[in-house]
Amino acid sequence: MTSDSSRSAGSDTLRGVLSSRPARADAPAAAIVAALTAAAALLRLYEIGHQGLWFDEAYTVMLVKLPLARMLQTIPRTESTPYLYYLLAWPWARVFGTGAAGLRSLSALAGVAVVPVAYLAAQALLESRPAGLAVAALTAFNPLLIWYSQEARAYELLVLTSAISLLAFARARELPTGRRLAAWALASALALATHYDAALLVLPEAVWLLASERRRPAAWLAVLFVAASGGALLPLLIKQAGEHNAAWISKAPLRARLGQILPQFLLGTGSRGYSTLTWVAFALALSALLLLAIRGERPQRARAAAAAALALAGFALVMAVDAAGADTVLTRNLLALWLPAAVALGAGLGLHRAGRLGAFVTVALCALGLFATISVTTDPALQRPDWPAVARALGPWPARGQPPTATRLLVFQRNVWLQPLTSVYMSSTHKLGHGKPHDVSEIEIIANSAPTSASRPSLSTAHWLCWWGAGCNLEPSTLAARYAIPGFRPTGRAHVAQFTILRLVASRPRRVYQGQILRAMRRAGSPLYGVLIQRP
């Protein structure tokens, strides 16, 4: 019996040495990762339905409400990403609903899962548990990842699938068995099926694996499988490119978009004192790199350089695509590169020789992320537009005293992107097309004021560079003193969140032409507008 016990103990010891993961060291690390994952869940699920669904999310609602076959037929016309997210969101919506909290919870689940995957990927790439824990902490408290964990779009699933690809790459690089290479191929194919820009990470990984394992047939088979998976998406990509759904990106100056990437990688889309905190975050990130340069040993620096090389190669790739004429340079399209960049920082933060300074910088970066997240939660100017409040203020139709056949027009100054109302909050409305006039009893003129806050969500003040769905994404305007629409008189104004609503009422239904609205809006200084029509 003593001999069996000795053999068992010896076997456990040998297994621990070979894996470099002693059980006693695993236990506290696992507990810390579990705590960070719980914190990530709290931050991502807290008030997940508090903000209204914005324009892009309204398209997700519209799609998942369709029958499955029709949804797949519609995606090439309305979206700029592949099918995987929508194939998951479609059954998810039938279980949890299409409300803000229910639909966003899919992204929140993906965001929570990123934390342990980030830990494992960083540990495998850097061969360091402390560095893995530092990266897991940065992931849990990063406000950009939290923002996209609370958005019903594909971006947080992109972060998760790219993180799994990076983890599989690290393990295949460590020991390139057929099983590990197959795992990388499958993870990379799923990442590409989530978002085309996953290629910014997957392609450098593929080149690296071929360069280091070119004599292994399994490596070639894995890369060929990923290439075939990407090639299968080309017809969809070409179709979506022909719809020009992402053409708006190139209209914003490239220099301004590039200037947003690092601040948003560190601090997300906005915070109180955003400009000042950005410089603090830059200083802390630079401290992590200096710790690596000064106190890191050559193998540690080499492993960190490998992670940084993946991120830099992906960035060089997107810039090459931009130079070729397909401009997609935007922070959210680079999310696949967030984790390898964080791993490069974590290498310096997790050094044994960094000691308390590394821990301090890690905690400080997490504290900045938490502050920015709380800023978004408590400042309406940093949140998505409050379309639910607008719908409540407008109320049901027909209103009391109106005939049951009455028609109402909703006119939005300087904004034509009204999908949240038509798809989600006022589904009885639809866009007013050109053609015959309508007998109208009431007209609501709605203006969006610029968000007023000490916190600016962008280093640029140009509202059109605010692309991430916050209130600054809408064109600001003020209501005019008078709107010359014959037969209608103002009866009151209402202020709702960032919106102001002017109600115009006719004593009896009046015939309204599209040209009358156009002239009235031009005289009011608002040639750009959107009109919804609402019938009982």
463 — pLDDT class (breaks 50, 70, 90): very low
Tell me the per-residue pLDDT of 15-64, one tens digit each, with 9 for 90 and over: 332 233 444 558 899 999 999 999 999 999 999 999 999 999 999 999 99
- Please tell me whether residue 489 adopts helix, strand or coil conformation: strand
Average pLDDT value for residue range 513-518 = 88
Q: Is residue 457's pLDDT more than 80?
A: no
Tell me the per-residue pLDDT of 247-270, one tens digit each, with 9 for 90 and over: 999 999 999 999 999 999 999 999
136 — pLDDT class (breaks 50, 70, 90): very high
- Please tell me whether residue 475 adopts helix, strand or coil conformation: coil
Q: Is residue 103's pLDDT more than 80?
A: yes
Average pLDDT value for residue range 123-147 = 97
Chain mean pLDDT for the chain: 91
Specify whether the CB–CB gap between 146 and 125 falls below 8 A: no
Tell me the per-residue pLDDT of 284-322, one tens digit each, with 9 for 90 and over: 999 999 999 999 999 999 999 999 999 999 999 999 999
CA dist 326 and 318 (Å) reads 9
pLDDT of residue 450: 66
CA dist 204 and 199 (Å) reads 8
Specify whether the CB–CB gap between 271 and 382 falls below 8 A: yes
Q: Is residue 409's pLDDT more than 90?
A: yes
pLDDT of residue 451: 62
Q: Which of 171-180, 348-357, 401-410 has the lowest mean pLDDT?
A: 401-410
386 — pLDDT class (breaks 50, 70, 90): very high
Q: Whole-model pTM?
A: 0.92
Q: Is residue 105's pLDDT more than 80?
A: yes
The strand order across the sheet containing 499-512 reads 429-431, 529-534, 408-413, 438-448, 499-512, 489-496
pLDDT of residue 524: 86
Tokens standing for residue 359:
């821990």
